[in-house]
Amino acid sequence: MEPGRARYKRVADDLRAAIRRGEYGPGDRLPSQPQLAERYGLTQGMIGRAMAILAAEGLIRLEFGRGAFVLEAPRVSRHRVIDRDYVSQPGSSSFAVEQERGGHVTKAPLVREPEAVVPPPEVAERLGLGESELTLLRDRRMWVDDAPSQIATSYIPMTYAGGADLALPDAGPSVIYGRLAERGFGPVRFTEDIEVRGATQDEARFLRIASGEPVFEIIRTAIDAEGRQVEVCVNILPALRTRLTYGWRQDR
Amino acid sequence: MEPGRARYKRVADDLRAAIRRGEYGPGDRLPSQPQLAERYGLTQGMIGRAMAILAAEGLIRLEFGRGAFVLEAPRVSRHRVIDRDYVSQPGSSSFAVEQERGGHVTKAPLVREPEAVVPPPEVAERLGLGESELTLLRDRRMWVDDAPSQIATSYIPMTYAGGADLALPDAGPSVIYGRLAERGFGPVRFTEDIEVRGATQDEARFLRIASGEPVFEIIRTAIDAEGRQVEVCVNILPALRTRLTYGWRQDR
DNA sequence: TAGTGGTCTAGACCACTGC
DNA sequence: CAGTGGTCTAGACCACTAA
């Protein structure tokens, strides 16, 4: 073990290596904190700190009164197949479709009624809106097989949102995009910006992860044929349990 | 402050909110741990724990003997513009090109001479190789403006690697792909799988982040016109300091 | 040197689980 | 009930920074 490094960190390194070596497999229980305290010559508190590190990395789950368990961490995939040979319709690569292909059941109820709001700055900037310009907000919490999967918040400038029919409770992205297309604002170009940050308390509660655990914040901007930004959608997903996939062709 | 929650976590929540409110701006120094200990009625050790949480989330940087500073965290962008109107050559959307466009200087020296190795399982699987089949490994550590930016490890099955000219020290992806194309293995289809996990000690040392801090692990698979997987490249980037961008067209 | 963050102990108590 | 993880203290000492 590397000297000069804090002892509780070396314990974390040691346990991490043991898990990666397969010494403890998925689902296995690690020795209790008092046991490890004796083995490493540290107090229980310091062992607890070491295990908190591994929990933050998504390697183990600490269960109150039960023990520390190695996670199998089956990652949920989220695909964007960006290939004209594969997809022909804007909505067909959506999350729900991708998930249902694998026999999963999804639901995405609206958290509250769609309403007109001033969007946060990073959204307003992408929509090319000035301060205090309004957008139609659609806030959805999405589930797969009764497990929370992601938070999706969509912003559409009121100019393009028009009538109230975009405010339908069950409309997914494909429906929304279809409605926009009917009005001549059909999106044809997309940009996704992906960042990672710590989860807020609210996000953590819904996604059933620890507050501060890394989440993906994916901001998708939809642009129509005239170059107008017609929608921005912010997706929050648990980063340690998600695999994002992007595929594309690039002929000479 | 929410009751029932650990007090040091509530301190972290409180400070996080203050930073997000702008009460402490980028570059500002937070009060010292003894000062905060008195304010919140906790010991210095507990305040230190609270601050470690914020540091792990990438909100502040703890500097030994100096203090705790709010990070501006300018994210480095990494673009994949997947749009035939934008890119015409496979290599032109590469990381180095994208960075140099902004007046930045990049270098990507080989860590060691290219050599034949048995790839790790997640790579072998993507290449469709059996156990103990060999690949040419190219291991590079990349820099932008004298700051470490990413680790890139490329695997090419020996069948496609052929002669030793792929082992040139300075060859970037565009050169590599060009060589493959000359032999009839030019990649035309790409898949990128994106996951987030804690940094290993080795990765953390090079990227100058804390061990266990979240990193992107991006695995790109390059496929030629015949559907052969000709290369897999594993990229490691600091997730809290990086923005990934993907863009594409999707006409009806 | 004084002030900062970082580590560690010995011991305490709590809340939760499962027998 | 015993065993588990989680929190917290009071105090100590260390390593580093800046004046």
Gap between the Cα atoms of B229 and B127, Å rounded: 5
What is the rounded CA–CA span in Å between residue A251 and residue A196? 31
| Interface list for A 120-179 with B (CB within 8 A) | none
For tokens 């594993």, the residue is B234
A197-211: b (≥16 Cβ within 10 Å) or e: bbbbeebbebbebbb
pLDDT of residue A106: 67
Collect contacts of A162-169 with beta carbons under 8 A, ≥24 apart.
A166/A114, A166/A136, A166/A138, A167/A113, A167/A114, A167/A136, A167/A138, A169/A109, A169/A110, A169/A113
Using a 7 Å CB cutoff, list residues 36-65 of A near strand C: 41-46, 63-65
Quickly state the pLDDT bin for B173 (edges 50, 70, 90). low
Between β-strands B67-70 and B60-63, what pairing exists: parallel, antiparallel or unpaired? antiparallel
Picking from B187, B194, B248, the nearest residue to A244 by CB comes out as B194
Q: Where is mean pLDDT largest: A2-11, A79-88, B145-154?
A: B145-154
As a whole number, mean pLDDT of residues B16-40 equals 91
* Distance (Å, whole) CA A196 – CA B216: 9
Give yes or no for a contact between A194 and B194, defined as CB atoms under 8 angstroms apart: yes
The answer to whether residue A69 neighbours chain B at the CB level (below 8 Å) is no
Angle in degrees, 0-180, between the axes of helices A44-56 and A33-40, rounded to the nearest 10:
110
**Residue in A216, A123, A213, A200 with CA at minimum distance from that of residue B19:** A200
Give the model's pLDDT for residue B251. Answer: 65
Residue B148 has pLDDT above 70, yes or no: yes
pLDDT of A77 above 80: no
pLDDT tens readout for residues B94-121 = 454 455 455 566 666 666 778 889 999 8
Instruction: Identify which of B226, B154, B131 has the alpha carbon closest to the alpha carbon of residue B183.
Output: B226
What tokens does A105 get? 């059941």
| Range 37-56, chain B: CB under 7 Å to any strand C atom | 44-45, 48, 51-52, 55
CA distance A239 to chain B (A): 6
Q: In whole angstroms, what is the distance from residue A236 CA to residue A150 CA?
A: 6
State how far residue A115 is from chain B, nearest Cα, in angstroms. Answer: 24
B214 neighbourhood in chain A, CB within 8 Å: 196, 214, 239
Does the pLDDT at position B226 exceed 70?
yes
CA of B240 vs C1' of D11, distance in Å? 36
Residue B13 confidence (pLDDT) above 70: yes
- Which residue's alpha carbon is at the shortest distance from the C1' of D2? A65
Strand D positions within 7 A of protein Cβ atoms? 3-12, 15-18
Question: Does residue A108 carry a pLDDT above 90?
Answer: no
What is the mean pLDDT of the segment spanning A150-163?
Answer: 87
Residues with CB under 7 A from strand D: A 30, 32-35, 44-45, 48, 51-52, 55, 62-68; B 6-9, 41-46, 63-66
Amino acid B171: pLDDT:
59
CA dist., res. B218 & res. B192, Å (int): 6
Look-up of token digits 């040419």: B136
Q: Is the pLDDT of residue B233 over 90?
A: yes
Cβ A57–B88 below 8 Å, yes or no? no
- Does at least one atom of strand C sit less than 7 Å from the CB of A163? no
Is residue A217 within 8 A of residue A134, CB to CB? The reply is: no
Residues of chain B contacting residue A3, judged by C-beta atoms under 8 Å apart: none
**Using the CA of A49, which nucleotide's C1' is the nearest one?**
D6
Torsion of CA B161, B167, B171, B173, to 10 degrees: 30
Instruction: Say how far apart CA A126 and CA B167 lie, in whole Å.
Output: 43
* pLDDT tens digits for range A215-244: 999 999 999 999 899 999 999 999 988 999
Residue A107's alpha-carbon distances to A112, A140, B251, in angstroms, are: 15, 10, 27
Asked if B24 and B16 touch (Cβ cutoff 8 Å), the reply is no
- Of A190, A136, A189, A187, which Cα lies nearest the Cα of A159? A136
pLDDT at A64 over 90: no
Distances (CA, A) of A160 to A90, A127, A191: 18, 11, 19
Q: Does A91 touch chain B (CB under 8 A)?
A: no
